[in-house]
Amino acid sequence: MEKSRTKTVFVCQQCGREELKWLGRCPSCQEWNSFVEMTVAASSPTARSSVPISPPRELSAVEVDAEERFNIPLTEFNRVLGGGVVPGSLVLMGGEPGIGKSTLLLQVASVAAGARGGVVYVTGEETLRQIKLRAQRLGIEGSDLYLLSETDLNVILEQVEQLQPGLVVIDSIQTAYLPELEGAPGSITQVRQCTLQLMQWAKSGGVPVFITGHVTKEGAIAGPRVLEHIVDVVLYLEGEQFSAYRLLRCVKNRYGSTNEIGVFEMKEKGLIEVENPSHAFLSQRGTESVGSVVVPVLEGSRPLLVEVQALTNPTSFGLPRRTANGVDFNRLLLVTAVLTRRLGLKLGNQDIMANVTGGLRIGEPAADLGIALAVASSFRDVGIDPHLVAVGEVGLSGELRAVPQLERRVSEAARLGFKRCLVPKAGGKVSPAPKGIDIIQVGSLREAVGAGLVKSGRNLRGSEDQG
**Rounded mean pLDDT of 330-357?**
95
What is residue 3's predicted lDDT score, i.e. its pLDDT?
Answer: 52
**Regarding beta strands 233-238 and 90-95, do their DSSP bridges make them parallel or antiparallel, or are they unpaired?**
parallel
Residue 50 has pLDDT above 70, yes or no: no
**The model scores a pTM over 0.75:** yes
Q: Which region, left, alpha or beta, applies to residue 160 given φ > 0 means left and ψ of -120 to 50 means alpha?
A: alpha
Residue among 249, 225, 246, 223 at smallest CA distance from 236: 249
Q: Under a CB-based contact definition with an 8 Å cutoff, are residues 103 and 135 in contact?
A: no
Residue 172 has pLDDT above 90, yes or no: no
- Higher per-residue pLDDT: 337 or 286: 337
Average pLDDT, the chain: 87
- Higher per-residue pLDDT: 124 or 54: 124
**Rounded mean pLDDT of 294-318?**
91
**Rounded mean pLDDT of 165-188?**
89
Q: Under a CB-based contact definition with an 8 Å cutoff, are residues 190 and 177 in contact?
A: yes
Residue 376 has pLDDT above 60, yes or no: yes
CB count within 10 Å of CB 231 equals 24
Assign 221 a pLDDT band (cuts: 50, 70, 90).
Answer: low
Each domain of the chain, given as residue ranges in start order, spans 6-41, 69-275, 280-452
Assign 170 a pLDDT band (cuts: 50, 70, 90).
Answer: very high
**Rounded mean pLDDT of 374-396?**
95
**Rounded mean pLDDT of 112-124?**
88
- φ and ψ at residue 464, rounded to 5 degrees: -65, -35
CA distances from 379 to 10, 167, 314, 326, 400 (A): 54, 55, 10, 20, 21
CA distances from 298 to 217, 365, 391 (A): 27, 11, 11
Assign 196 a pLDDT band (cuts: 50, 70, 90).
Answer: very high
Burial of 138 per CB tally in 10 Å (0-12, 13-18, 19+): middle
- As a residue count, the chain comes to 467
CA dist., res. 224 & res. 76, Å (int): 29
CA dist., res. 231 & res. 248, Å (int): 17
Residue 385 has pLDDT above 70, yes or no: yes
Q: Under a CB-based contact definition with an 8 Å cutoff, are residues 439 and 421 in contact?
A: yes
- Window from 145-159, 198-212, 239-253 with minimum mean pLDDT: 239-253
Residue among 251, 248, 234 at smallest CA distance from 277: 248
The domain 69-275 having CATH identifier 3.40.50.300: the answer here is yes
61-73 pLDDT, tens per residue?
888 776 678 888 8
Residue 200 has pLDDT above 80, yes or no: yes
CA distances from 341 to 180, 336, 398 (A): 64, 9, 9
What is residue 168's predicted lDDT score, i.e. its pLDDT?
Answer: 96
Assign 358 a pLDDT band (cuts: 50, 70, 90).
Answer: confident
What is residue 366's predicted lDDT score, i.e. its pLDDT?
Answer: 95
Assign 467 a pLDDT band (cuts: 50, 70, 90).
Answer: very low
**Rounded mean pLDDT of 177-202?**
88
- Window from 271-275, 285-289, 355-359 with minimum mean pLDDT: 285-289
239-285 pLDDT, tens per residue?
877 788 899 999 999 988 887 889 999 998 899 999 888 888 887 78
Q: Using H for helix, E for strand and C for coil, what is the string for the chain?
A: CCCCCEEEEEEECCCCCEECCCCCECCCCCCECCEEEEEEECCCCCCCCCCCCCCCCCHHHCCCCCCCCECCCCHHHHHHHCCCECCCCEEEEEECCCCCHHHHHHHHHHHHHHHHCCEEEEECCCCHHHHHHHHHHHCCCCCCEEEEECCEHHHHHHHHHHHCCCEEEEECCCCCECCCCCCCCCCHHHHHHHHHHHHHHHHHHCCCEEEEECECCCCCECCCCHHHHHCCEEEEEECCCCCCEEEEEEEEECCCCCCCEEEEEEECCEEEECCCHHHHHHCCCCCCCCCEEEEEEEECCEEEEEEEEEEEEECCCCCCCEEEECECHHHHHHHHHHHHHHCCCCCCCEEEEEEEHHHCCECCHHHHHHHHHHHHHHHHCCCECCCEEECCEECCCCEEECCCCHHHHHHHHHHCCCCEEEEEHHHCCCCCCCCCCEEEEECEHHHHHHHHECCCCCCCCCCCCCC
What is residue 462's predicted lDDT score, i.e. its pLDDT?
Answer: 40
222-245 pLDDT, tens per residue?
566 678 889 999 999 988 777 888
| Sequence-distant (≥ 6) Cβ neighbours of residue 48 within 8 angstroms | none
Residue 85 has pLDDT above 60, yes or no: yes
**Rounded mean pLDDT of 129-145?**
91
Which CATH number does the domain 280-452 belong to among 3.40.109.10, 3.40.309.10, 1.20.1440.230, 3.30.230.10?
3.30.230.10
**Regarding beta strands 393-394 and 400-401, do their DSSP bridges make them parallel or antiparallel, or are they unpaired?**
antiparallel
- Higher per-residue pLDDT: 118 or 457: 118
CA distances from 4 to 7, 43, 139, 184, 371 (A): 9, 12, 54, 19, 63
Q: What percent of the chain has pLDDT over 70?
A: 90
CB count within 10 Å of CB 285 equals 15
What is residue 219's predicted lDDT score, i.e. its pLDDT?
Answer: 61
Max Cα separation, the chain? 93
What is residue 318's predicted lDDT score, i.e. its pLDDT?
Answer: 83
Residue type, 347: L
**Rounded mean pLDDT of 294-323?**
91
Residue type, 180: E
Residue 83 has pLDDT above 90, yes or no: no
